[in-house]
Homo-oligomer: A and B are copies of this chain.
């Protein structure tokens, strides 16, 4: 039987593993490779001019038949152009971060796009849920990027956010070992893990994650 949960169903992916959108790092090649492997790949738009983002989306879509997403930092100066592009290019999933989820979530969802917002506290998680987001990423202090003045660590943040909202929670920040994936998904209560440097440095393959989850009794294809 295939593994399914709220996140694999939401995105239509095989494994609850999401490759973080990373500035200067995750273009269409990495994102489409992850999506082809059964996870969800994200194109990181933060380092891209609008025309560059559009080119990456088109190349990524040509390289995979699986869902492929885009990460948009809401503080981006040309934010309206990025929003227009993901709508025009019919990107199925958008992860937003570093900004107010109330501003764009409704606009994207009207177009049938799944929206996930990155949060660093239970309070911001509830705000994202109120704004209509389909899920949140609970990003601990261990993560790169802009992740909260409180510096709450993943171990503390993830179960707190899981308790705070009804929508699925994607764990993020410091997931550098297979054990972390397992902890986040089992006792942590998260529905998926978003990882960055593991993909960046090629330290972990989907096959290893799969084998590990299987060794812990999780049924995966």
Which of A's residues lie within 8 Å of B, judged by CB? 140-142, 153-156, 159, 174, 176-177, 179-180, 182-183, 187-189
Contacts and interface: CB of A to CB of B under 8 A. Distances in A.
B174 A156 contact: yes
Closest 5 CB pairs of A and B: A179-B187, A153-B153, A155-B155, A183-B183, A156-B174
A174 B153 contact: yes
Contacts of A187: 179, 182-183
Dominant SS among interface residues on chain A: loop
27 contacts: A140-B153, A140-B155, A141-B141, A141-B153, A142-B153, A142-B155, A142-B156, A153-B153, A153-B154, A153-B155, A153-B174, A154-B155, A155-B155, A155-B174, A155-B180, A155-B183, A156-B174, A156-B176, A159-B177, A159-B179, A179-B187, A179-B188, A179-B189, A182-B187, A183-B183, A183-B187, A183-B188
A82 to B, nearest CB: 32
Nearest to A183: B183
Interface centre among A140, A153, A174, A180 (most CB of B within 10 A): A153
A142 B159 CA distance: 15
